Chains A and B, each alone.
Chain A
């Protein structure tokens, strides 16, 4: 016997959560593209395609206030942001490549110094992952160790069944709590046949081998032309579920304003530019090398994880056709040749 939820009840679940004043975020059609957005009602939920942007902004918004300051009676006061007001959030309908990203990012936002902006949002969120049945040519999750039915990062996991219902498996206590609270919407029954998972015919990459190659090839002809055509737009970083680089800037004047943390990208020329004008990554190829190294070596060196979920968004979004999966495949081949 499995736990099942019909599509109608899944939409009712969204309605019930919204009624509970929970922020429910899921794939929703916005104009002509599907994006993760707050759902006003269950009918807003669209499970037909992978959202154009990743779900990371639930925990790591594009831009967020980290403090405000104001001069009153001549004295400057700094005020913290009230994080207790961050809403309880349920992310619904995230495929493994999105549901799995927070469990990668938790490491960087909680080592040594805790980024409570990220962590408070994480604590207040429940992730309903869903098995992926909508992959395309750019997907390569299996190549980086994930799978269309990988449950990592999800608190509960839905598997679409032929006929429109979903098998629902609690993965964490949080997930079980959500099921318990809305038990009436779930039923026990014989799980029917699952809808075929997204085609993941891409070969598996040997990540340890790739890393080993990266360890010894900071200098290599590969890097000399790898990003000759890169326009440095940063799209690959912004739509990535795992890229976490950010900048901090003030908005306001010396008497009142807000300090904000906002996304940044290692592909931008000013990212590492020193005040003196000296730039350690002075050309795009060095910046792209850093992108590959950070995802497949440095992050692993530090946290034992790969900073990529294989969602393929950077491949789809790149205006000049740079394909990270192809690059990894090239490195994989070089690694095999030794």
Chain B
């Protein structure tokens, strides 16, 4: 498919594995069917793709696996609409479509030598998980790595196996939390909202980059906390996830003011986000 000049043609990919992260959030591991595409497909952490369930249409998600892990890509989505429900009906071995990668990415090389703090809420861990593994796969290039991740309830925490793995690692500090009331009797994390838990965890802003992704309300309350911790707006990165269709700057819906999330983003610094027309 890749030889055509039709920008809307997807690559075909086979579902190699399915992981149910929560009752309604699913990870699909995809392998491109065309050998040449398997060889040539490359992406950077933070980029997104258009995934299609034939007969239902396309949906936009980040590429949730790390570019350092070759041979496959992963996407992670919550079943909430026509396309995601159709994707959920697919089984291992089934075919789906992937267009991409699109958009900009996290400038990981610029983070070399720095400490990293990842802050994510709910289903917004996948866009940071690609960076987390990317950095863990190049572990000696970074200083301290802290991950603050929260969800409404224990059941809503995604990538539970990986959370356990990160918790075990001595070179990662994981602070996981659930909203008050979302914890079972055996929950081994913190109880509280992400911004509050972040403030308590108080990672040092010294030589540190913060990467934040979450629902708009979480971002809104997290940015002031980071500011109080001493993070400059240029040291805070986020990724915006507006509704998209084309992914390539034409269909006209993902704009925040004159900024096209699909082309100018999805990765922005807090300084860039603050300069945008406030239409989130």
Contact = CB atoms under 8 A, between A and B. Distances in A.
Nearest to B79: A275
A113 B54 contact: no
A78 B1 contact: yes
Nearest to A275: B80
Interface in A76-101: 76, 78, 80-81, 83
Contacts of B254: 272
A113 B7 contact: yes
A280 B258 contact: no
Contacts, number: 132
A301 B253 CA distance: 16
A184 interface: no
B277 interface: yes
Given A76-B12, A264-B253, A257 B55 contact: yes
Contacts of B53: 254
Contacts of B242: 272, 274, 280
A248 B81 contact: no
Contact of B253 (A83, A266, A278): A266
A245 interface: yes
Interface string B1-29: 10011111110100000000000000000
A80 B6 contact: yes
B243 A272 contact: yes
A66 interface: yes
Nearest to A277: B80
B208 interface: no
Interface string A245-259: 111111011110101
Contacts of A261: 8
A241 B157 CA distance: 48
Contact of B8 (A67, A218, A219, A266): A67
A111 B249 contact: yes
Contacts of A273: 243
B250 A81 contact: no
B252 A245 contact: yes
A248 B250 CA distance: 11
The 8 closest A-B pairs by CB, nearest first: A245-B252, A113-B248, A298-B258, A254-B55, A218-B277, A76-B95, A301-B258, A66-B8
Interface of A: 66-67, 69, 75-76, 78, 80-81, 83, 108-109, 111-117, 218-219, 244-250, 252-255, 257, 259, 261, 264, 266, 271-276, 278, 280-281, 286, 290, 293-294, 297-298, 301-302
Given A76-B12, A293-B277, 16 more contacts: A67-B6, A78-B12, A83-B6, A111-B249, A112-B249, A112-B263, A113-B7, A115-B250, A250-B52, A255-B55, A259-B58, A264-B253, A266-B252, A271-B253, A272-B253, A301-B258
